[in-house]
Chains A and B, each alone.
Chain A
Amino acid sequence: MEKIAIVGLGQTKYKGSREETFDELVFEAVNLALSDAGAEIGDIDNVVTVSNDFWDGRTISSMAVTEASGAWDKDISTVEGDGIFGTLYGMMRILSGSFNSTLVVAHVKGSEGEMNLITNAMFDPIYQRALGIDATSSAALQARCYMEKTGATEEDFARVSVKNHKNAFGNPYSQLPMEISVEDVMKSRKIAEPLKLFDCSPISDGAAAVILSNKQGLKRFKKDPVWILGVGHCSDSYTLGYRDLTNTRALKNAAQRAFTMASIKDPMKELHVAELYDAYSYMELLWYEGLGLAADGKGFELIRSGATEMTGDLPVNPSGGVLSAHPVLVAGLARLIESTIQIRGEAGKRQVKGASKALAQGINGPCGQAHGIIVLGS
């Protein structure tokens, strides 16, 4: 594979509610990415926007951000899914030989939507929606399955929340830095058994953008490139009843594609930092297993060992993760941006020393049905 680099990035501060309209958020993120890259909109050959009609409450939601994304007189397309998938498409468009650079931008205003209704709408309209199932209640089923199968405890989930909210203090873009204890998480309000308030990510507003370039395009950009070493994406089955919710086969498949491309044999040893999609605390433990950072059923032992703390062998979510800010669609792209910042050595208080190989994850669908993985290197 020809090498593709990330040469610019921008993210707005993530908040529970932003006054700006979503095209204004997109404009902000795009301008931040361009100035980060030392570039102008004319240096961008094509654009991929990421949006979702349900979250935007608007049909053809891509239309509302076309101008703000700078796509005038350029090729443009729109991915509906996490920003990681938008990045994968942006990269393919360069690899095809048609373009030298792609701008990828994602946005969401969770504050303007009803999470329960919007995520209820991803379930079967006849048999399941009437039960009221949504992202959180389906996640609770998955968390319970995981506990039953592995012996992990609610305290193990709480440990993820404590770690990530603490890490968020180092991230100026994060929404919820919190100094909390396992006991605080355990005592927080029940949302859907066994998940409590502090096991769940918040609903956020925000936008993020990255600029991708091939080698020919590099001269347009001032920033040192961070290279994409490997990518992979894969979807599991849809019907929850058809899935073993503790089986991470789709993530394993996506990760294996990325690791093969990046020549990574032992991710635990070779990666220096990982930014994972912890929409709910327990997810981080499952994703450890899918990524091969822990053996199947042993993800909870990894969090107990402290290996994924800032001081551990492989810090996971130095940014505070999705638990500390969850702009849906943007969140995976934010993981990619955070991984890039780590490799650049620009992460400030959340910097993992000497990080030169990082992994970012995005997910789609209920209970992490689909995964997109990008491995980055210096």
Chain B
Amino acid sequence: MGKRAAIVGFGQTYQRSSRKDVNGRELINEAVRSALADAELTINDIDAVVIGNMDHFEGINYVDMWSVEGSGAVMKPIMKVTTGGTTGTTIAMCAYYHVASGLFEKVLAIGWEKNSESDTTGAIITAFHPVWERPNLGGAVAGLAVEASKYMSNYKITERDGARVAARERLHALNNPYAHLHQEWMKGMKVEQIVDLLVTSEQNQVLAYPLRMSDMCPRTDGAAAAIFASEDVAEKIVPTPAWIHATTNRHNYVYLGDLDWNVNETLRDSSRKVFKKVGIKDPLKEIDVCELYLPYSYAGLKWMEDIGFCGPGEGPKLVWDGITDMDGELPVNPSGGVMSSNPIGASGLIRVGEAAIQIMRKAGARQVQKDVNFAFATGFGGCSWADVMLLGKQKPA
């Protein structure tokens, strides 16, 4: 059997729309140094490196090779993994398996993206079938707009419900110095007032009905790095490592036309699988904080139902009742989430890292007040794909 593994260090760059002050390798280096400093380790302590991004954003082939002088992987084992939007969580999973295999003791996981150097939607469109899907559904916004429309139609959801999620994410981001979007104008305003503004403002342009600018994630320059360590050393590095209790994923679909738009099936199945493995019966009660890859607002309603935090159509009530706010029963995305910073190849790893620092109680102004026993992180990408990881304060049985 393999080794238990935990996150013992996490670091990220300041996420911004354009980091002209650094090139890609310097950006990576910034995150790596920050993670090493967090764990009080040096690069010499690292046994292997895992890195990922989406090639066509920066136009650099063999990024694992190109980056070694920034990542610190010179004369070390390094591997690149990449799966589109889920890349960041895929990197975390890969680093976890490196350690769990027993082959490596301390593994550095790096995700990064410099979206300012790309035509993001132009690159994403080429992920879809050249004949059947690129002309109509391809790109990041279109498929999500279809999902939102179907969800609205199924449960009489309104644009205000979507805007409520957007308000939460952006309000949380104000506590996170690393977040890209700091919407200072929201400070001190009532949530209802923010929601009213978001759904009525002409400046808040509709991109694809029902999605407005405020409903979508931005495109961001940024990098993140996490250090995974085996049970043999984790507790010697930090007093409270964030243990990986379970991780799984489902990347079932190739064609958007094959999706059942009523349910996010991959997220539902992945979540159920890890909850079952760890013995979680009531996720709303048993999970203490979430860092979910919510690329757009309505995901913060519908996907909560698919994960199993509430029943079908009950997402809006959960969110309006404040349960997912910082002081709620289940704070969701204290970091501000993907809707506040989206360096795509890093976004999933940031979710995992932010979940880890909540357990390690290193989250500063965005630290949830309650005790964190379990933290749940997800990744989203591809054609409605899901990666999930459940982290915990207790060493797994």
Please, which residues of chain B bring their CB within 8 A of the CB of A92?
A: 97-98, 100-101, 103
Q: Find out whether the CB atom of B61 lies under 8 angstroms from the CB atom of A118.
A: yes
CB contact list, A42-60 vs B, under 8 A? 52-54, 57-60
In the complex the two chains form, is A125's CB within 8 Å of B80's CB?
Answer: no
B252 x A79 contact (CB < 8 A): no
User: Contacts A60-B127, A63-B84, A238-B68; is A53 near B249 (CB within 8 Å)?
Assistant: no
Q: Which residues of A contact B84 (CB under 8 A)?
A: 59-60, 62-63
CA distance A151 to B382 in the complex (A): 52
Give a binary string over B34-57; 1 marks a CB under 8 Å from any A CB, 0 the rest: 000000000000000000101110
The smallest beta-carbon distance between A336 and chain B, in angstroms, is 16
Q: Are B61 and A122 in contact (CB under 8 A)?
A: yes
Given A77-B94, A95-B2, A253-B75, A60:B68 Cβ within 8 A? no
Question: Nearest-CB distance from B314 to chain A (Å)?
Answer: 26
In angstroms, Cα B65 to Cα A59, docked, is 19
B58: nearest chain-A partner, CB-CB: A125
The complex places the Cα of A250 from the Cα of B269 at a distance, in Å, of 42
A365 B101 Cβ-Cβ under 8 A: no
Cα distance, A354 to B337, chains bound together (Å): 59
| A58/B80 contact (C-beta < 8 A), A66-B252, A77-B93, A235-B73 known | no
Closest B-chain residue to A54, C-beta based? Answer: B61
Residue A271 lies at the interface, judged by CB distance under 8 Å to chain B: no
Q: State which residues 59-80 of B face A: CB under 8 Å.
A: 59-69, 73-80
Cβ contact within 8 Å between A96 and B100: yes
Count chain B CB atoms within 10 A of each CB in A62, A79, A81, A249 and give the residue with the most: A62
**CB interface residues, A 303-336, toward B, < 8 Å:** none
B75 touches A122 (CB 8 A): no
Whole-angstrom distance from the CB of B139 to the nearest CB of chain A?
Answer: 11
State in angstroms the CA–CA spacing of A64 and B76 once bound together. 31
Instruction: Give A67's nearest chain B residue, CB to CB.
Output: B254
**Which residue from B1, B81, B100 sits with its C-beta under 8 Å from A79?**
B81
With a CB–CB cut-off of 8 A, which chain A residues contact B82? 53, 60, 62, 78, 80
Select the stretch in A83-91, A274-282, A284-292 that faces chain B.
Answer: A83-91
A97–B1 CA distance with the chains assembled, in angstroms:
5
Note all chain A residues with C-beta closer than 8 A to B254: 63-64, 66-67
Q: Does A337 contact B (CB under 8 A)?
A: no
A62 contacts which chain B residues (CB < 8 A)?
82-84, 251, 382
Q: Does A234 count as interface, using CB distance less than 8 angstroms? A: yes
Q: CA A73 – CA B248 in complex, angstroms?
A: 11
Q: Does residue B142 face the partner (Cβ distance < 8 Å to A)?
A: no
Residue contact B81 to A59, C-beta cutoff 8 Å = no
User: Taking A97-B2, A98-B2, A119-B61 as contacts, is the C-beta distance between A66 and B253 under 8 angstroms?
Assistant: yes
Residue A76 at the chain B interface, CB threshold 8 Å: yes
Q: Does B102 contact A (CB under 8 A)?
A: yes
Does B69 contact A238, Cβ atoms closer than 8 Å? yes
User: Does B381 have its Cβ within 8 Å of any Cβ on chain A?
Assistant: yes
**Chain A neighbourhood of B74, CB < 8 A:** 235-238
Question: Is B90 within 8 A of A78, CB to CB?
Answer: yes
| A91 lies within 8 A of B101 (CB) | yes
Closest to B252 in A: A72
Closest A-chain residue to B57, C-beta based? A59
Q: Contact: A59 with B55, CB < 8 Å?
A: yes
- Write out the residue numbers on chain A whose beta carbons fall within 8 Å of the beta carbon of B73: 235
Least CB distance from A96 to B in Å reads 3
Residues of A contacting B252 in the complex (Cβ-Cβ under 8 angstroms): 66, 71-73
Known: A74-B250, A80-B62, A364-B62. 12 other contacts (CB 8 A): A62-B82, A66-B252, A78-B90, A95-B102, A96-B101, A121-B60, A121-B61, A235-B64, A235-B77, A235-B78, A237-B75, A250-B75
List 7 A-B residue pairs with CB atoms under 8 Å apart, sorted by A's residue number: A1-B103, A62-B83, A79-B81, A118-B61, A235-B65, A237-B69, A365-B62
A-B pairs with lowest CB-CB distance, top 5:
A365-B65, A96-B100, A60-B84, A95-B101, A92-B101
> Which residues of chain A have a CB within 8 Å of any CB of chain B?
1, 52-54, 57-60, 62-64, 66-67, 71-81, 85, 88-89, 91-93, 95-98, 118-119, 121-122, 124-125, 231-239, 242, 249-250, 253-254, 364-366, 369-370
